[in-house]
Structure formats: structure tokens, C-alpha cells
Chain A
């Protein structure tokens, strides 16, 4: 009983709120000790407490409940019967309703929940009951700080220990938690709250689960806490520190990927805030979140993350404050270190996490820019990542020297990623070095971490890149590998040597590696091309930065080797590739180009010298010459190279041409001759006058010494094409000489010009076209008498014309004599006579006409009057087939049968107009210093066109008319639209006839197309409209025939486009043609070419609109017409009888309406 009274006293003193705290604790301990030692059974205690637990006095009841709860807390290790626990749970959970006694209830619940299973724990259903009761009755935020903490502890405990049963509470649980932690401010409570969220997230992990729909709500509550801003003194009494809170929040943030849509944008936003702690926290959070959420979720933010990180890095790593006096690397301290490191470790995290190729690129760029931005960031990246990557690649710092072969790669795919990153890193580092041009900075580079590390690993990298490219029987490198390998080698080779000296041996190794690819792996097109590109890149880099040592290596290893390749026959590399490599390498720099040109020159000459023995060397020479004239020469011209080589080359070729004469073999085949001539023309054209003089002198001496032409005699004797055959080699040499003449400057002195012109005239009659071009060129460039008083020694234009048009050509050979006995002058005639066919030799006539056309072109370009005479000759050739031929021919020829011109001759005369009008690539252009008068084409057009039109109308023979049309077509297609438009009215009918004539022969399809383009130009120009309107019917008829022209797709397409353009014309004109057009177009819908079909659809639509317009008009008036029958009959008459266009129709109807 004594015990009982003692117990009562203990209880009394605890319940009495006025007693001191220590006293209360002591009594509590005493009671607990009693219960623990079984001196007092729990049931007895409860019975004893009965009154306190049920009294209506709130204070006492609260104390009583608390007492019981505290006692239970203290006997947590004492085994209890499950029935007791059950009844206790029931008791405490009910007390949660009563806010006055809530603390006791909370402590009690907590104590029960925390019990371990060995001493008897709360059952699942009881735990659910507690949770339900809690969620139902507790208003956490209205409680005091300590009670709130208890609440959170209780929740936390429930979630942790009874996670499986509380899950079933579902929405209520989440709501309850949200409500409980909303606007919580106490750090300790927050710690718990954040942990609760984290546990909650683990409770509902799946993305389609319950939490998914509440993620936004939950996050809205968490969001305001970020970044943790702590106003409490950090060293105060509060046990919770800012960092703890921050970490706890971080784990809450990163607890579930469901938060990802909200977290990442928030973090990115805060990253750009000016608050220091916010930045650091954001970076940390980003790192953790990205690792927790997984690569896929983060991938879409990569760009945004990168741009923010980049900004951060550039701001905080941007100003390395190092002084040169304390130079060592470690001495560089930057104040914002922390942020930089955080950012970098975030990047690292991203990199480690993602080995997918897509991401790889993003990271590569990140690294690139990080390395590029500043030295310090570059160093940091190298320190953090480079060594790690090297480790992963298998080169660690410790064994860096032991690996020297590239066989260490086992899993290629992983290596690929690392190598790619290496490349980006190196590229960035290189950019950084190149970009900084302060000498002081450059000095420091050598001692920078990045450079030191780069040095250490350069051999390994070289081997690594090399091994990626290795081609073997069983393995061919994939495209990305090729990219990596070549790019890597290129970057390694292009580090500037005065800043960061890469060892010479390494540089040479790189060049050797690439060269070996060039020489051996030509079958792998992509590899070969990229290797060549890299080689050129390295070459131009070496040139650009004046790296003398490297330039020497480059020259000896690359340039000279490539030149050497030209002469090696045993190598399997195809010759076209050799030439490509040659020209590309040459273009890396002027010095290299000169070396290459020398090599090329020697190779060309060597090949030329054995051309008669070896067919292949002729092909080789052609390729080399093509390369020379199309690529190398223009390049050296553009880049201000000297012309020395061009002069020397021309002279060399001449000497070779001379040597060729010593052999009796035919000079060369046509292709080679053309190539040599082209190269010669371009070389000569690019030289100055003095050099040209030198070349032409040289050429002349060879022409006079090595051919069978008796130059000395040519002038004195009358011209006789008697020795009818010139040997092929003579022809070759004279063509070559002609090409020199074509290309010279007007001021260049041509030796013995009179003799040469005689010679040219003779050879021209044998059909050597280049000679005719040379004659045209001479006439084009000679000065006329009026303004050449000072140098009287030269031939003037007038004299030259006299030579050409008045020199008698003598036919002494017997066969010729017989044929031309009808001429008035016996056996002597001038060039123009031959053109007119007096010699009665078709071949001769054709050659003469062709030659005359080039001579005429020379005159036309300078705007000389004589062109009119020449044109007249062509015209005469064209029309002489008719009976109304010119009197000149009528008189001279007695035999009327012979009077009919050969169609071939007429065709040649018609095509002469093409020569006259078109722009030639071969001669008489700006490149070859021709004198070109502005608007010469228009002048010629306006003077010739009336004559041609007249002749066409007069000509009765269909043959001669067809050739006149040809000439017409040639002139039309090369004249500018402005000139044509002014004459459009007259031209269109002829043009249409011409078009339909040209459809007859397949060979004329290009001419047809050219002419059709002229027509379409007329249709689209405003000025041409009037003429077009007048002739709309015939134009449409003509075009309808062309829409199914089978031989050229472009003709069909253009014809249909013209029809579309025609639909713009006034309705009245074209309406009657509508059905015809639509019918023709519908066949085009079935065309085999897509482009034609497309145009046809467009055309059909535009023409269809006319139809609709008409129908609508009819509909509108039909209603009225029903009322007015007499008019209806009239309308029927209109519709059926006459095809009337709507405007007329409407006006007539309106007129009759009452």
C-alpha cells in the first residue's frame, strides 16, 4: 500500500503543473523504473491514473495523458502484450481529437509506433488507425513548434516503418502531408518534413502512380524553400545547420523523377540569379538530380543546362587573378572557385552518366567551350576530366610511358566516346592558345596544367587516333571513327609551336600516318578524302602561322612525297587521286605550290617525251595538264604568285614540242593536243607582255625550224594550197602556235605577222580551226591605221584585212585546176570566193566558211565595218540554193546543177552565226585580252535581223528557208531580251515557224530550247505583251505542239510554263483556245517526268478558271433568260453557233434586256 501511496504522490507531483521541470522528470523516471522492473504492472498504473486520464479538467487530463505516454516512451524495450498495445493505441489515437491533450497523445502514439517487433509492436491495422486519426483530426500548423516536430516525427515514423499499410490511405495521406508541411518554417521541423516528402516519393515510385497527379502540388510546397536561406546565426544553439537543410531539401527534390518537369526549370532559373548561394545550390542540385532522374529525362534540358552552365563558368572562371611573380600553377586562386568546381563536377556527372552518342555531342561542345574560354577553366577541365578520361582509355599517369602501341583498345564503343571528348577538349584548348596573342600569356602556357598533361599524353593520343583509323583485312573503320581519328590527328598537328611545342617527332609521325592513308587506303573513299582534307588543313596552318620547322617537315614529308608519287608507276594509287592530292596540297601555300608546279612540270614533260611510245603516258599528261589549267594556274593567279613558272612551263612545252618533231611518230592524239593547247593559252594569257614576247619568239623559232612550212617562201610565192596534205605533227605545232597567238596581249609583238597570216590562211583551208581562231584574234587585237602612227613597223588592221581578203590563192595542183576552170581569174581566187563555192570543192568551202566565221567574230567584237561584208557572204551561201540567187554567183557559174548549194555548206553558214554570236570559252574573251565593244550583239542583231527576215519571206525553197531559220535561231538565242522586245511584233511569227521547224530533227533540241526560252522571256516581259496579244492564237497553237516534245524534258516544261503565262492575257483573246489547251495539257498530266506533271497541273488550274468564269456568267443570266425566251434563243445561238467570249456575250445580253 505504501507503494500505492508513493505512486499516487509521484503522479500528483507530475500532474501538478506548478512543480519544477527537474522534479517532474525525477518523478517520471521513478514511475518508469517501477514499471520497468515489474514492480508496477502497466495495467495497475493505468488504473491508478484513471481519474487523471478522464477528468474534465483539461490541464490535469493533459498532464495525465502525457505521463502515461512518457512512461511508455521510457519502457520501449520492455515487452508488452499485444492486447495491451492494442488498447493503448486505441486510447492514444482517440486522444488526438482533443487538442488540449494532443501532446500526450502524440508522444504516446510515437512511442508505440517506434516499438520494435521483439518487444511487441503495433499491428498494421492499428498503425493505419493512428494514421487515419492523425490525418483526420490534426491541424499541424496550428500547433506549437515542439508539437509540430512531434507530428512530423510521427508521420516520418509511420511512413518509414509502416510504409506498406499507409500506402493504402492514398490521396488522404498525400493531402494530409501537404497540409502538414505547408508553410512550415522551423528548421528542425523542415528537416523532418523534407524527409517525409522523400519517403513519400519512395512510396509511390511509378510514373503513372498516385503521386504523379500530385507531384505539382507537393512540389509547390517545396519550391519556396529553394534556395535555403538561413537567417539564424550559423553557430547558434540550433542544432540544424544550413547545409543539413540544403542537403535534406536536395534529397527531397531528387527523390522522384516525377518532380523533374518542375525542378529543372526552377534550378535553371535560380542558376541565373545573382545570389551566390543560389548558384551553388542550383549546380549541386542539378548534379544530384540529373544523376537520380536518369539521362533520358535530363536529355531534353541539355541545351538549357549547358547555356546556363556556360554563363556561370564564363562569369566565375573568367577572371583568373594570378600574378606573374607567384607564377606556379597552384598559386592561381580565383575567388569564385567553388562555383566553378561545382559546375565542372556537374558536367562530369553528365558525362559519366551518358555514353550515348547524341548526348556525347552536347558534352563535347560543353568541353570545347569550357576549354576554350579561359586558361583556368581549361586547366580545371584538364585536371578534372582529362586524366580521368586517360585513365579510362587505359593510359594512366603512372604508366604513361610504358604504353606506346595502340593495341590496348578492347571495347571500341566506349573508347569512341572518350576519344570524341578528347578531341573536343583538345580543339578547345587549341582555340584558346591560338586565340591569345599576348606574349606574356603565351609564356605561361607551357607551364599550365593542360599543356603539361597534353605533353605527357601526346604520344598516346597519337597512337590512339592512329589505331582508330587502322584499316585491316577484317576491319574497316566506320565513318564516325574516321572522323575522330582524322580530326584528332589534325588537331594534334596544328598546335602552335611557339606557344606549345609539340615534339617534332610527333608532328612527323602524324604526317607520316596521314600520308600512309593517302597512299594506301584510297579504296575507302571517305577515309581518303578526310585524310586529304586534314593534310591540307595542317599545311595551310603551318603556312599561316609561319612555323618554319614544321613547314620544313611538311615540305619534305608531304609535298615532296606527293610530287614523287607522280613519277612512281608501281604504286597502286589511281592517277586521278594522285592529281587531286597534288592540287589540294599545292593550294596550302605559295611555296608548296611552287614545289608542286615544278614537280608537275617535270612530270608533264617526262610524259610528253615518251608519249609516242606509251599510250598511258599520254593519258597521264592529259590529266596533269587539266589539273594545271583548271586548278593550279587559277589558284596561283588569284594568290598573287609570280608568273615565272607559267613562262617557264610554256617554254618547256615548246622545247618539248620541238623535240617531238625529231621522232617520226604522229605528234599526239586529239585529247592531248587540246589539253596542251588549253594549258598553253592559259599560261600565256596570264603573263605580262614581255614574257609573252619571249614565248612567242621562242615558239616562232620552233615553228620555222621544226616544220615543213617554208616560212621564208610563203610571202614571196603566191598562196597555194597545193601541197594539200600537211602532216599531223605540223598541224599540231601550228595549232599550238595558234593558241599562243590567241592568248597574247594586243601590245605583244608577233614576229613576221604577214607571213604567219599567209600560213594561217593556207592551213585554215585545211580545216585547222585553231588557226582560224588565231586569225580572228589577230584581227581583233591589231591597231587600225588612224591611231597607230608611232610604230609604223607593225602591221595595221587595214593591211591585215587586205592580206586576208585580197590575197590570191593559187590552185596549182592539177586536180584543183580542172575543177575551177570556170572562174574568171583562171586558177586564182580570194578567200571569200572560196566561201561562195567557186572552187567547187565542198570541203574547201566548208573550211573557208568556218574560218571566216572566226575571223568575223574577231571583227564583230571590235565593231568593225567589215563584218557586214562577211555576213553578206554567209547570207549568200544560205540563199544561193534558190533561183533568185545573187547575180555574183549567177555570172560566175555556168552549170546550173552546181548552183544548188550543198546542204552541208548551208548548215555550216547558218552555224557561222552561232560562232559569231555566242560567247566562246576558247578564244576572243576577256581572259585572252580580246577587244570587246559594248553592246556589240545588239548592234549586230539590229543590223542583221531585218535582212534575215526579208530573206526568209522571199525565199521559196524550203531548204534554204530552213537554214535561214537556223541562222535566225542562233542570233535570237544569243541576243539580249531588250533588243528583241523592241522588235517583238515582227519576230514572233518567224520565231514560231522556226520553233516548229526545229522540232523535226532531234539534233536541234538544244537550239529549240534556247529559242523557246526567248519566247518565254517575251511572254513574261511587260513590253512584249502587246505583240503577244496579237499573236496569241498562233503562239498557243505552237506551244500545244511542244508540250509533248519527246526528246527534251526542259522543252516540255518551258512550253507549259509559257502556256501558264499566256493565261494572264485578256480573256477575250484566249478564251477560244481554252478547250484546245486543256485537251493538250491533260495528256501532259501523264508525263513521265514529275516536274512536267507539276507544271501541267498548275497550267490546267489556271486555264480552268476561265471555264468557271464563263459558267458563272451563264448561270447568272440563265435565270433572267428563262423569263425572256426570245433572248434565250439568241443565247443558244451564241453558245452553239459562235464561240463567243463572255464579255461580248454579257454586253449583248444586257443590251437586249428591257
Chain B
């Protein structure tokens, strides 16, 4: 474990206003998903992923025909070792969100991480995700991020 923070001084952005929507019909769309995950806390800082611009509405795409959902997130620094934790948080949070016929892919956005390929591989490997969740330390960290009151 490195001492100190990986990104000691992140750029914090303003939170966007939430839009309450009621129009019909309501198919699952990117904003739905974004609304659901934007408040996940960063593992390092008391800011949400939205505030740190790790996630944005544009970074989520939904393909209804193929039933695929792709979420790309951008770690704040290239060598961020928290990228996998963030991805794990997203996976856990979204686990209950979709009907079974959707497949969720979580990736770091291209070029935003030094170890992009291996992170992507790790995040989309079912067994490794499950294994990670069995690690009590990791699990605690993820839960802190998901249910934090610090924001």
C-alpha cells in the first residue's frame, strides 16, 4: 500500500441538478443509470464520482436491441490504483438494477489509465468480481463508498 493519497488534490466539479422526469414511455436510459450511480463516493475523497468527473451521463450508453449497457469511467489520475475499486462499486451498485437480459460492461475510458487493459479485464471477469467481494477488506471499502453519508 502506498502512503498518502494517490491523487492528493483532485479537481472538484459542481454537482449537476437532478431532473425529475415523468414523460412516457419510460425505457431504461443513460440518465436513469447515471442518477443511480452518480452519488457513489470516491474511495479516496469525500466527493461523489460525479463531483470528481469520474462519471458523466455521456459515459453511459444503453443499447436496447442487443441488451447491452456500457459504462466507461475516467479515473482522476493515470496510475490510479482505485480504478478497480471504483469499478467494483459500480458493479455492486448496479447488480440489482437490470433485468436479466441486459449485460453490463464496465470499462475505464480509453487512454485514461496506465494499466487499462488489465483493469478492464478484471472488472468484467465474473469470478474475480465475486472473489473480490469475498475479501472482507475490499467489501468493507466498497460498502463504505456505496452507503457513505459523507457527501
Residue of B21, B27, B32, B95 near A1088 (CB, 8 A) is B27
Least CB distance from A1078 to B in Å reads 9
Contact of B18 with A by CB under 8 A: no
With a cutoff of 8 Å between Cβ atoms, the chain A residues found around residue B100 in the complex are 1082
Chain A positions 1081 through 1106: 1 when the CB is less than 8 Å from some CB of chain B, otherwise 0:
01101111111010001001100100
With a cutoff of 8 Å between Cβ atoms, the chain A residues found around residue B21 in the complex are 1090
**Assembly CA distance A315 to B27 (angstroms):** 60
Least CB distance from B69 to A in Å reads 12
**Assembly CA distance A1088 to B27 (angstroms):** 6
Question: Does more than half of chain B's interface fall in helix, strand or loop, or is it mixed?
Answer: loop
Contact of B96 with A by CB under 8 A: yes
**Assembly CA distance A1104 to B96 (angstroms):** 9
Known: A1088-B25, A1088-B27, A1090-B26. A1097 touches B99 (CB 8 A): no
Contact of B28 with A by CB under 8 A: yes
Residue of A1085, A1090, A1104 near B99 (CB, 8 A) is A1085
Least CB distance from B117 to A in Å reads 31
Chain A positions 667 through 696: 1 when the CB is less than 8 Å from some CB of chain B, otherwise 0:
000000000000000000000000000000
Q: Is the CB of B32 within 8 A of A1090?
A: yes
With a cutoff of 8 Å between Cβ atoms, the chain A residues found around residue B28 in the complex are 1093
Chain B positions 115 through 147: 1 when the CB is less than 8 Å from some CB of chain A, otherwise 0:
000000000000000000010000000000000
Q: Is the CB of B96 within 8 A of A1101?
A: yes
Q: Is the CB of A1088 within 8 A of B26?
A: yes
Most buried by A among B21, B22, B36, B96: B96
Q: Is the CB of A1082 within 8 A of B99?
A: yes
Known: A1085-B98, A1086-B99. A1097 touches B26 (CB 8 A): no
Least CB distance from B99 to A in Å reads 4
**Assembly CA distance A1093 to B97 (angstroms):** 8
Residue of A1088, A1089, A1100 near B96 (CB, 8 A) is A1100
Q: Is the CB of B25 within 8 A of A1097?
A: no
Interface positions, chain A 711-741, Cβ under 8 Å from B, are none
Q: Is the CB of B27 within 8 A of A1097?
A: no
Q: Is the CB of B97 within 8 A of A1083?
A: no
Interface positions, chain B 85-128, Cβ under 8 Å from A, are 95-101
With a cutoff of 8 Å between Cβ atoms, the chain A residues found around residue B97 in the complex are 1085, 1097
Interface positions, chain B 6-34, Cβ under 8 Å from A, are 21-22, 24-28, 32
Residue of A1082, A1085, A1093, A1115 near B26 (CB, 8 A) is A1093
Which residue of B has the minimal Cβ distance to A1081? Answer: B96
Least CB distance from A237 to B in Å reads 57
**Assembly CA distance A1097 to B92 (angstroms):** 12
**Assembly CA distance A1087 to B98 (angstroms):** 10
**Assembly CA distance A1115 to B134 (angstroms):** 10
Chain A positions 1054 through 1093: 1 when the CB is less than 8 Å from some CB of chain B, otherwise 0:
0000000000000000000000000000110111111101
With a cutoff of 8 Å between Cβ atoms, the chain A residues found around residue B101 in the complex are 1086
Interface size on A, residues (CB 8 A): 15
Chain A positions 891 through 913: 1 when the CB is less than 8 Å from some CB of chain B, otherwise 0:
00000000000000000000000
Which residue of A has the minimal Cβ distance to B134? Answer: A1115
Which residue of A has the minimal Cβ distance to B27? Answer: A1088
With a cutoff of 8 Å between Cβ atoms, the chain B residues found around residue A1101 in the complex are 96
**Assembly CA distance A1100 to B101 (angstroms):** 16
Which residue of A has the minimal Cβ distance to B98? Answer: A1085
**Assembly CA distance A160 to B107 (angstroms):** 60
Least CB distance from B19 to A in Å reads 12
Interface positions, chain A 861-907, Cβ under 8 Å from B, are none
Q: Is the CB of B99 within 8 A of A1089?
A: no
**Assembly CA distance A1083 to B100 (angstroms):** 8
**Assembly CA distance A1100 to B98 (angstroms):** 10
Which residue of A has the minimal Cβ distance to B20? Answer: A1090
**Assembly CA distance A1089 to B25 (angstroms):** 7
Which residue of B has the minimal Cβ distance to A1084? Answer: B99
**Assembly CA distance A1115 to B136 (angstroms):** 12
**Assembly CA distance A1083 to B98 (angstroms):** 9
Least CB distance from B90 to A in Å reads 14
With a cutoff of 8 Å between Cβ atoms, the chain B residues found around residue A1086 in the complex are 99, 101
With a cutoff of 8 Å between Cβ atoms, the chain B residues found around residue A1082 in the complex are 99-100
**Assembly CA distance A1083 to B28 (angstroms):** 14
With a cutoff of 8 Å between Cβ atoms, the chain A residues found around residue B22 in the complex are 1090
**Assembly CA distance A1091 to B28 (angstroms):** 11
With a cutoff of 8 Å between Cβ atoms, the chain B residues found around residue A1085 in the complex are 96-99
With a cutoff of 8 Å between Cβ atoms, the chain A residues found around residue B98 in the complex are 1085
**Assembly CA distance A1087 to B25 (angstroms):** 10
**Assembly CA distance A84 to B23 (angstroms):** 88
With a cutoff of 8 Å between Cβ atoms, the chain A residues found around residue B25 in the complex are 1088
With a cutoff of 8 Å between Cβ atoms, the chain A residues found around residue B96 in the complex are 1085, 1097, 1100-1101, 1104
Q: Is the CB of B99 within 8 A of A1083?
A: yes
**Assembly CA distance A1091 to B97 (angstroms):** 13
Least CB distance from A972 to B in Å reads 30
Residue of A1087, A1088, A1089, A1097 near B36 (CB, 8 A) is A1097
With a cutoff of 8 Å between Cβ atoms, the chain A residues found around residue B95 in the complex are 1104
Interface positions, chain A 650-673, Cβ under 8 Å from B, are none
Which residue of A has the minimal Cβ distance to B94? Answer: A1097
Most buried by B among A1083, A1089, A1093, A1104: A1093
**Assembly CA distance A1086 to B95 (angstroms):** 14
With a cutoff of 8 Å between Cβ atoms, the chain A residues found around residue B36 in the complex are 1097
Least CB distance from B94 to A in Å reads 9
Least CB distance from A1063 to B in Å reads 13
Least CB distance from B51 to A in Å reads 22
Chain B positions 19 through 60: 1 when the CB is less than 8 Å from some CB of chain A, otherwise 0:
001101111100010001000000000000000000000000
**Assembly CA distance A1085 to B96 (angstroms):** 9
Which residue of A has the minimal Cβ distance to B26? Answer: A1090
With a cutoff of 8 Å between Cβ atoms, the chain A residues found around residue B32 in the complex are 1090, 1093
Least CB distance from A1005 to B in Å reads 18
**Assembly CA distance A1083 to B24 (angstroms):** 19
Least CB distance from B93 to A in Å reads 9
Least CB distance from B58 to A in Å reads 20
**Assembly CA distance A1089 to B100 (angstroms):** 17
**Assembly CA distance A785 to B82 (angstroms):** 86
With a cutoff of 8 Å between Cβ atoms, the chain B residues found around residue A1100 in the complex are 96
**Assembly CA distance A1082 to B95 (angstroms):** 11
**Assembly CA distance A1083 to B32 (angstroms):** 17
Q: List 27 A-B contacts (CB under 8 A).
A: A1082-B99, A1082-B100, A1083-B99, A1085-B96, A1085-B97, A1085-B99, A1086-B101, A1087-B26, A1088-B25, A1088-B26, A1088-B27, A1089-B24, A1089-B26, A1090-B22, A1090-B26, A1090-B32, A1091-B26, A1093-B26, A1093-B28, A1097-B36, A1097-B96, A1097-B97, A1100-B96, A1101-B96, A1104-B95, A1104-B96, A1115-B134
Other A-B pairs beyond A1090-B22, A1090-B32, A1115-B134, 10, CB < 8 Å = A1082-B100, A1085-B96, A1085-B98, A1085-B99, A1086-B99, A1088-B26, A1089-B24, A1093-B26, A1093-B28, A1101-B96
Chain B residues engaging chain A, CB cutoff 8 angstroms = 21-22, 24-28, 32, 36, 95-101, 134
Shortest 9 CB-CB contacts between residues of A and residues of B: A1090-B26, A1086-B99, A1100-B96, A1085-B99, A1101-B96, A1089-B26, A1097-B97, A1088-B25, A1097-B96
